[in-house]
Amino acid sequence: MKKELIKKMGIPLMVMSAFHLQAVEDRLSLLAVPGHKEQISVNSNSEQITTEWDGNALSVNVSPGKAGPAIYISLSEGEWDLSRFGHVEAMITNPMDEPLRISLRVDNAGDWRDEPWNTEVIRVLPGKTMPLKVIFGHQYGYKAGYKLDPAKISKFVVFIDQTKVPVSFRIESLVASGEAGEKPEVDPKYMRHVPKAGFILGGADVKFDLAKQIKHQSDGVEVEDVEWKGQSALQVKLSGQTTSKSLVLKPASGRWDLSQSNEMQLTVTNVGESPVTPSLSVANGGQNESTDIAKSEVPLAPGESRTIVASYVPEKSWIGPDGDLTKHAERKGTLGTSFKSEKAEKVILGFEHAGDAQLRIDSLQAVAQSRPVPQWLGKRPPVEGNWELTLEDNFDGDSINEEVWHVHGPNWWGNKKLTHWSRDNVIVKDGTATIRMEKKKGFHNDDPAGPTSEYQGGVLRTYGKWTQKYGYFESRMKLPTAAAMWPAFWLMPDRGVEAGEQWRRADIGNGGMEFDIFEHLTRWGPYRYTTAMHWDGYGKEHKATGATVYFYPDEEGYVTSGLLWLPGLMVYYCNGREVARWENDRVSTIQSSILYTMPLGGWDNEKVPNDDELPADYIIDYIRVWQLKEHMRTE
């Protein structure tokens, strides 16, 4: 092979012989050849794996074991430069009688905690040869992932799950191909459509495709397109005697992203001669992943129009688990909601009628609404008792009360490599405290000896300064909307200095518990958050449960979140309304401190912010805490 071609491929001459090179214009073979077995290695459970190269393919045999066996393919020296390609693809043959789940990972060098790799997984059917492709910068269904540098590929890893039976497969080939900067084709089921001005039907220039968007209808239901006031509408004919019928509307492809709304409004007119009682709900694809059914309280008379509202806020609050807390399946709780507005799959319309009837669906719109809050909110706890106010901070003035708050602390959350805390990013002004995230390089905790990172945020915590066991904790907050923000209001155990080192003080085992009173990921949109309880440590014994909460902000755009914590009881409130309740002997009995945090990322969120959306502000109007006097006497 000519040296010029080798140089063009980015292949060091000294490692040329370490791998099999078949170069055509758009492909580069990466698999090892005989005499160079140093390329092929296995993980620490090497006794599980045997490999054999026949000159064309690598055969792999795996015996049962306790770990997920892996094969590593790497150069004896240096790295691959695949910068002119867009993906790597392995052809996998499954000679067995059972399906094989297998993964391919493409690695950069670096700290494993940063997960510097892209991974895809497929299920290879018995007797089949199937492609397993990793597109650089994407992973797990070709979603955006770690920004892999294709010029510095350190190794490829092929691995399967832990197995209790012998497994065999063949790696027929491993090639780099595709154009640099390649983007995956979007699977229709992952597509998200944001309805224009929230309109699924009706609204200016909103088109409804009858053939694609009517996915199910009962017998005796006929639907046709009509125009009403210059906009698309649906005419629905219902035939038969006393009966109930349904009609399901779906996106033309993918799912609707309704995350910028907190309710769905249906406007309907009875254009027939018989009364009809309509109903409405919005749902995902899974069981119980639906809003409550909103049903007209009285039948719609001929000639009458009405708007029916399906709120994402469930009528019944979440009830915590009472089963075996050691079993994950029994820690989910009941009631509440499992609906996810950012991936709505269908709108379900119901009709109860007696005799032939006819309706016109004038509009269907996802809407964001606010609602007034109770007069008592912020003035007292939600239940009767001999309460005393133990902490109140309205953030008046122009500085934090450092007798109560730290403005520095650890960053153990989210995309911590990108973020540091600074005093400058906790801003007290106009009767609020703002935790601000901005693109600004600096030192963590303003310490020149500490690590630096690209994004500067803030933290508020009472660790070592203020704690309380039991009581009612309430805060009024306004949320950021920028991508990748993770604002939270929560409690952690603080047993005091006498408990020893920090992890013992804040241990969520031994009677302690993490209370996430309010935890929000901006990907969910501005009207949803979660409550959660974590206990028994963060290792293999870790346990958790909690609820999804939708809400209507108050007239100024704030949400007020509260926790009533009593012996054996936790009740969570949103804008004065109970949203979650758990009664259990495992409820924490340990003094706790308060935290406000806003790191980047989170488990169901973008990992990196959009710099054009920064700075992003998490605004805290007040924190108020009460205590029952009988509990104060026991502390």
Q: What is the DSSP string of 476-497?
A: EEE---STTB--EEEEEE---G
CA atoms within 13 A on the CB side of 11: 23
Mean pLDDT for all residues in the chain: 90
pLDDT at 38: 44
Split at pLDDT 50, 70, 90, the class of 140 is confident
Is residue 23 over pLDDT 60? no
CA distance 319 to 328: 16
Is residue 582 over pLDDT 70? yes
Split at pLDDT 50, 70, 90, the class of 32 is low
Is residue 21 over pLDDT 60? no
Residue 329 main-chain phi, psi, to 5 deg: -65, -20
Split at pLDDT 50, 70, 90, the class of 304 is very high
CA distance 406 to 366: 41
CA distance 110 to 315: 49
Q: Are the CB atoms for 457 and 442 separated by under 8 Å?
A: no
Q: Please return the burial class of 630, using the count of CB atoms within 10 Å of its CB with bins 0-12, 13-18 and 19+.
A: exposed
CATH tag for 390-397+459-609+616-632 (out of 2.60.40.10, 3.40.50.300, 2.60.120.200, 2.40.50.1020)? 2.60.120.200
CA distance 275 to 355: 9
The pTM of the full predicted model, rounded to 2 decimals, is: 0.78
Mean pLDDT of 589-603: 96
pLDDT at 611: 95
CATH tag for 3-177 (out of 3.20.20.70, 3.40.50.720, 2.60.120.430, 3.40.50.2300)? 2.60.120.430
pLDDT at 47: 72
pLDDT in tens, 249-288: 999 989 999 999 999 999 999 999 999 999 999 999 877 8
pLDDT at 261: 98
CA distance 527 to 342: 11
CA distance 629 to 168: 68
pLDDT at 322: 87
Lowest mean pLDDT among 35-39, 110-114, 382-386, 537-541: 35-39
Is residue 507 over pLDDT 80? yes
The CA-based dihedral angle spanning residues 414, 418, 421, 427, taken in that order and rounded to the nearest 10 degrees: -90
CA distance 455 to 441: 6
CA distance 298 to 310: 16
Is residue 7 over pLDDT 80? no
**Which range, 2-16, 152-166, 206-220, 572-586, is most confident?**
572-586
Domains of the chain by residue range: 3-177, 192-367, 390-397+459-609+616-632
Q: What is the largest CA-CA distance in the chain?
A: 88
Split at pLDDT 50, 70, 90, the class of 41 is low
pLDDT in tens, 112-136: 878 899 999 999 999 999 999 999 9
Q: Please tell me if the domain spanning 3-177 has the same topology as the one spanning 390-397+459-609+616-632.
A: yes
- Please choose, from the candidates 36, 33, 378, the residue with its C-alpha nearest in 3D space to the C-alpha of residue 173: 33
pLDDT in tens, 511-567: 999 999 999 999 999 999 999 999 999 988 999 999 999 999 999 999 999 999 999
Does 615 sit behind a cis peptide bond, omega within 30 degrees of 0 on the bond before it?
yes
The pair of structure tokens assigned to 310 is 């399906």
pLDDT at 40: 58
pLDDT at 46: 60
CATH tag for 192-367 (out of 2.60.120.260, 3.40.640.10, 3.40.50.10470, 3.40.1280.10)? 2.60.120.260
